């Protein structure tokens, strides 16, 4: 199944693997715009973070920023339909990313403003329980953007993006904040911030299935940093390799940034989303100014973990904020977040938000299968999409 969110509506799609198409089945409505979702390790439950604040409200003034929470759903093992499970929990601020720990006993949320982490118990029936307080106040950096639990279940990494400089404000540094973790309790441990975190706008990370490496995207720098991973969940102090995500020779433009990252289940390939949203004026309209809206495909060196760019696949849309691989690594779906006007030989046309489905070849490369337009409004966007495996 694929679940995809436009505003507060989370739509269920069945993946027809033979035909390579997505088939819409049903939907559920959340209390506010969906931010992210995460499947429980048992595959029985889906946890969905929502908020009426932040960038999920595209139009100016659309965000109220006073309702935030997580809802739990039971996944029907036959149809993938979602049914509410217990009561939603309220959170103090926007949850920009959520995850569970490795044994499925806690759900963790990353918060961007103010930067932070919250941890809640998961009861045996899948419902969300009490808040778990940290051992002491946590160093959560500036603008938490993602939280992941290390495969050892002994460490948690908060990816703190910081903020790029503006004409009126200097740069806020980024960092990888690594915490000790035990039974839901977090404790400060290590902060990784090369050059004191400046020019280090980290966004997302993923783990290699071998346990040897961690791959981190740097948003504004359009880079991937490859870190060595230790058995206890700590990382090398500096990256082993730094690789660009854009096609060689591509000019970096305003609005060009790398977003999500996923390692193929085989450990042989890595995928990262390049998104471009810059515009220019043409005949009194704002139109796309150029850049890469692509999935960068890398081959992973089996001995060193280094990356080699082997493909840049056009996503057939704009701002691919999130994408997802199915459990077997046979399909990849991209959520092209927002509509955008483009200029072509016939004039100006609007390209709608869309879900773009690719087949993944044995060589890791992507082959276009389907593009499905998704309706958005000035106050909604295609903010998240993810495959789940049925229980």
CA-nearest of 76, 105, 28 to 388 is 76
Q: Residue 104 in contact with residue 114, Cβ under 8 Å?
A: no
Mean pLDDT of 331-355: 94
> In whole numbers, what is the pLDDT of the chain averaged over residues?
95
Total domain count, the chain: 1
* Sheet hosting strand 202-207, strand order edge to edge: 202-207, 213-218, 223-228, 241-244
Pairing assessment for the beta strands 347-351 and 340-344 based on DSSP bridges: antiparallel
Q: How many angstroms separate the Cα of 336 from the Cα of each of 207, 234, 381?
A: 24, 34, 9
Find the angle CA(239)-CA(332)-CA(343) to the nearest 5 degrees.
Answer: 95
CA-nearest of 309, 300, 336 to 321 is 336
What global pTM score does this model have? 0.96
Residue 230 in this model has a pLDDT that exceeds 90: yes
114 preceded by a cis bond (ω within 30 of 0): yes
In this prediction, residue 252 has a pLDDT band, given cuts at 50, 70 and 90, of: low
Tens digit of each residue's pLDDT (9 = 90 or more) over 29-64: 999 999 999 999 999 999 999 999 988 887 756 678
Structure tokens at 356: 């773009």
Q: What is the pLDDT of residue 64?
A: 85
- Number of Cβ atoms within 10 Å of the Cβ of 128: 22
Give the gyration radius of the chain's Cα atoms: 20
Residue 75 in this model has a pLDDT that exceeds 70: yes
Mean pLDDT of 376-382: 93
Q: Could you tell me the sign of the dihedral formed by the alpha carbons of 311, 317, 323, 328, in that order? A: negative
Question: Which CATH number characterizes residue 337's domain?
Answer: 2.130.10.10
Tens digit of each residue's pLDDT (9 = 90 or more) over 297-316: 999 999 999 999 999 999 99
Boundaries of domain holding 203: 2-387
Contacts of residue 223, defined as CB under 8 A and 6 or more positions apart, other chains included, come to 217, 242, 243, 244, 245, 258
In this prediction, residue 346 has a pLDDT band, given cuts at 50, 70 and 90, of: confident
């Amino acid at each position: 199944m694929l679940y995809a969110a436009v505003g507060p509506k989370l739509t269920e799609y069945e993946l027809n693997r033979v035909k390579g198409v997505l088939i819409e089945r049903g939907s559920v409505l959340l209390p506010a715009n969906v931010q992210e979702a995460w499947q429980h390790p048992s595959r029985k439950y889906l946890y969905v973070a929502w908020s009426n604040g932040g960038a999920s409200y595209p139009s100016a003034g659309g965000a109220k920023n006073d309702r935030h929470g997580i809802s739990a759903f039971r996944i029907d093992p036959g149809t993938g339909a979602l049914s509410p499970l217990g009561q939603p929990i309220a959170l103090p601020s926007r949850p920009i990313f959520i995850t569970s720990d490795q044994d499925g006993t806690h759900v963790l949320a990353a918060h961007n403003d103010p930067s932070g982490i919250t941890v809640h118990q998961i009861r045996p029936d899948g419902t969300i329980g009490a808040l778990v307080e940290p051992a002491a106040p946590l160093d959560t950096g500036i603008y938490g953007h993602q939280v992941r639990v290390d495969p050892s279940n002994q460490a948690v990494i908060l990816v703190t993006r910081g903020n790029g400089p503006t004409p009126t404000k200097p740069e806020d540094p980024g960092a990888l904040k690594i915490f000790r973790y035990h039974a839901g309790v977090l404790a400060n441990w290590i902060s990784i911030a090369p050059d004191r975190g400046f020019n280090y706008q980290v966004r997302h990370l993923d783990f290699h299935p071998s346990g040897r490496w961690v791959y981190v995207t740097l948003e504004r720098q359009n880079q991937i940093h490859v870190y060595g991973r230790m058995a206890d969940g700590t990382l090398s102090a500096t990256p082993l390799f730094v690789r660009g995500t854009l096609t060689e020779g591509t000019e970096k433009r305003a609005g060009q940034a790398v977003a999500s990252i996923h390692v193929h289940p085989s450990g042989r390939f890595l995928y990262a989303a390049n998104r471009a949203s810059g515009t220019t004026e043409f005949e009194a309209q704002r139109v796309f100014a150029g850049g890469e809206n692509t999935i960068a495909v890398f081959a992973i060196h089996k001995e060193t973990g280094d990356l080699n760019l082997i493909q840049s696949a056009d996503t057939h849309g704009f701002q691919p904020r999130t994408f997802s691989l199915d459990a077997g690594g046979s399909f990849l779906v991209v959520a092209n977040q927002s509509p955008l006007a483009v200029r072509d030989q016939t004039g100006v046309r609007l390209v709608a938000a869309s879900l773009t489905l690719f087949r993944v070849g044995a060589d890791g490369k992507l082959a276009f299968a389907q593009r499905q337009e998704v309706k958005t409004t000035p106050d909604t966007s295609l903010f998240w999409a993810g495959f789940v495996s049925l229980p």
